[in-house]
Chain A
C-alpha cells in the first residue's frame, strides 16, 4: 500500500509534467491546427538558461523566471519567424515546418553549446525529501505537483474569465468569426504561442529538477509523450490534454513499479498498447474537442 501511494505521487509528478506539455501543444493546435514538434526545443532552451544561470552563480529563484521568460520569448519568436509565413498552408506544411525548426535548434545547441549532456546546478533543497502521512516524498516531486496544480488553476481562470482567454477559446472554435468581432488573428496566435512557451518553460524546470542535466535532445522524448497524451485526451481539447497527460504518467509509472522484472523490457509496448486500447473505445480521445466533433456532423 505504501509503495502504491509512493508511486502515485511519482505518477502525479510525471503526469503533471506531461499534462503541461500536452496542454501547450493543444493550445496552439486548437487555434491554428499546427502540431508544434519544436515545442520540445522550447523546453531545451529553458533548460540551458537554468544551466548557464547555475554556472554564473545566479540564484535558482531568479534563474527560474529567467528560464520561463526565455521559453516564452523563444515561442513568440518561433511563431513570428517560422510559422506566420506558413499560417495559411496545409497541416502537413506546418508540421514539416515545425520539424525543421526543431532540427535547426537541435543542431544549434549541439554546435554552439555541446553535444553532450551538461550538468545543471540545482539548490540542495530540491534533492531533500519530506515526510507526509508516513510517506517520504522528494521535494522536487512535491514542487512538480504544486507547480502543475497552480498553473492549471491559473490557466483555467485565464481561459474562462479573462477577455484574452475567452477570445482564444472563441478563435479555437471559429477563427474567421472571431476575427469578425475585431479579435486580431496575430494577437491570438502570438498569445497562444506565448502560453505554450510558458507551459514548456515550467515543464522544463520540473524536468530538469528531476534529472539535474540538460542535453540538445532533452525536449524530444517528453514532447513525443505529450503528443501521445494530447491524442489520448482528444487532440485540440484543453481538458483532454490535461487528462491524457496525467493518464499517461500513471500508466508509465505503475508499469515501471508493478510489472514483474522479467516483463520490464516490454514496458513501453505495453504502455502504448493501453493507449491504443483506450483509443479503440474512445476514438476521439478521453474528452474530445467540441469543435472537431461539430465539424464531423
Chain B
C-alpha cells in the first residue's frame, strides 16, 4: 500500500458525491457501536455492515480494503497475543488453561484478548467506511461548518496538500540516490554508515526544499491578495433521506440485537 492508496480510493469512490455529514454519521455511528456494545454480537454486526458498505455499496476494491486493514490487523494480533499471555502464577490453578514458566493462559486473559481483537477490528472497519469514501479535502471543507477556527483548518488543509508535494520530492530524491547506488549494500557493514548518511541527507534536503517552497508559495499568495482565509468553493451535494434512514436503522438495529443475544446493551 502506498501513502496515497486510501485517498485515491476515496477520490474514485461512487460515494464521493454523497454529503460528507451522512458518511461521517454512518462511520462514527458504527465506531461508537463497535466501542460500546458487547463484543458478541455487537462487533460482528458492525464488521458485517462496514464490509457490505465498503465493498458492495461504495464499490471499493477488496484488495484496497485488505491493504488498508493489514497494518492494523498486525497490531491487533500482536496486541491480542500480548494480552492473551499473562505474567505470574494465578492463585487459582483451576483458572489456568496453560502454564509455561512465568507465563500462563486462562479464561480471563483469553476473554480480554478476544475483546481487544473484536472491538479493534470492528472499529477499524467502521473508520474505513469514512477513510475510503471521503477525501481529506472534503472533510476539511465540511469542518468549516463546525466553526473550527479558519487558521487551524487552513494549516490542516495546507498540510494535506503539501504532503503530496513533499512525497514527490522524497520519491525523486530517493530515486536519484538509488541511481547513484547510494543504497547499495557494499562496503563495511553493508554500507550501513553511508546509507544512514544518505537517509539523513534525504530528510534534510526534503526539509530545506519544503521550507523554500513554503516561502515562495506564501509570497505568491500574498501577491495575489490572499491574506486571510483561503476559502475554496465547495461542491453542493444533495442528501438522501433513504441513506439517513438506513443509517439510523442499521445502528439502532445493531444495538437492539445485542439485548436478546448478549442480555445487555453495554460492553
Binding between chains A and B: no
Give chain A's interface residues, CB within 8 Å of chain B. none
